[in-house]
Structure formats: C-alpha cells, structure tokens
C-alpha cells in the first residue's frame, strides 16, 4: 500500500471517538512514543499527555479507561479533577496546574499530531 503523509501521521479516525468521549492513543511526539489522551468535542479534538501533573502517573485506571465526574476528567491515582475545555486541575492535589497539551488537528476524517 502506498501510504502518504496523511495516513502515516493519523492517530485515530475521528468517528472512532464518541462525541464528548475520551480515548487513549499512542503517538510519537518529538521522537518518543507517548500515551496521549484525546477528547472529542464535536468536530474538534483536544489532546494532552497522559501524565498527571500531581505525581506523574497515568490518569486512566486501565488503558483508555478514564474516570469522569460532573463533566471533569478525574485522575485514577489520587483524584485530581481536570476541566476538559482547558486541561486545568480544578480540584484535588494539583489544583491550579494543568495537563500538558499536545497540538492535534482533524484532517480528512482523522486526528493527526499537528507537529509530528
Ligand atoms: S498522580 Fe494524579 S492525582 Fe496524584
């Protein structure tokens, strides 16, 4: 198969993420394989490193299984709660800190790293 750049850099098809949902994917960021959290919001997608600013743990309790409460993303380790619009921690042990964002874009029906 002749893969073009679009195919090679795709993380996941947009339709594979439920609207409003969260998924975990692996992406190559600056040459390193990283676990990433993707959040679909209509036709746009936000992404963050799957690393909690509190103690550096993954936020999911099993790969791709995230806790949510009242519209917030909750870290499975110690309960830090993050706003999905901003990635900011609004409750818990790292209140005021933020998830580290990763630039992504939706192109041709797929989610891509903006700066692979
Ligand atoms: S590592 Fe996420 S709340 Fe402690």
Tell me, yes or no, whether 109 lies in a domain. Answer: yes
Q: Kindly state the average pLDDT of the residues 13-28.
A: 97
Q: Give the model confidence (pLDDT) of 26-85 as tens digits.
A: 999 988 999 999 999 999 999 999 999 999 999 999 999 999 999 999 999 999 999 999
Element (H, E) at 41: strand 32-41
Tell me, yes or no, whether 44 lies in a domain. Answer: yes
Tell me, yes or no, whether 83 lies in a domain. Answer: yes
| Residues in the ligand 1 pocket, defined by CB under 6 Å | 52, 54-55, 57, 75, 77-80, 92-93
Ligand 1 centre distance from Cα of residue 81 (Å): 9
How many structural domains comprise the chain? 1
Range of the domain at 101: 11-113
pLDDT at 8: 55
Backbone region of residue 77 per phi and psi (left: phi > 0; alpha: psi in -120 to 50; beta: other values) = alpha
Kindly report the protein residue whose alpha carbon is nearest to atom 4 of ligand 1. 78
pTM of the predicted protein model: 0.92
pLDDT at 116: 67
The rounded distance, in Å, linking the Cα atoms of 103 and 43 is 15
Ligand 1 centre distance from Cα of residue 55 (Å): 5
Tell me, yes or no, whether 85 lies in a domain. Answer: yes
Tell me, yes or no, whether 23 lies in a domain. Answer: yes
DSSP state of 30: T
The CATH number of residue 84's host domain is 2.102.10.10
């Amino acid at each position: 198969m002749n893969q073009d750049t679009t195919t090679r850099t795709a993380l996941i098809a947009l339709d594979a993420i439920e609207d409003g949902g969260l998924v975990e994917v692996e992406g190559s960021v600056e040459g390193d394989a990283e676990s990433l959290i993707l959040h679909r919001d209509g036709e746009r997608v936000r992404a963050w490193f799957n690393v909690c600013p509190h103690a550096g743990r993954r936020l999911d309790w099993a790969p791709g299984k995230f806790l949510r409460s009242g519209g917030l993303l909750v870290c499975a380790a110690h309960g830090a709660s993050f706003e999905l619009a901003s990635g900011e921690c609004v409750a818990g042990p790292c209140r005021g800190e933020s998830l580290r964002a990763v630039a992504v874009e939706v192109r041709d029906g797929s989610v891509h790293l903006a700066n692979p």
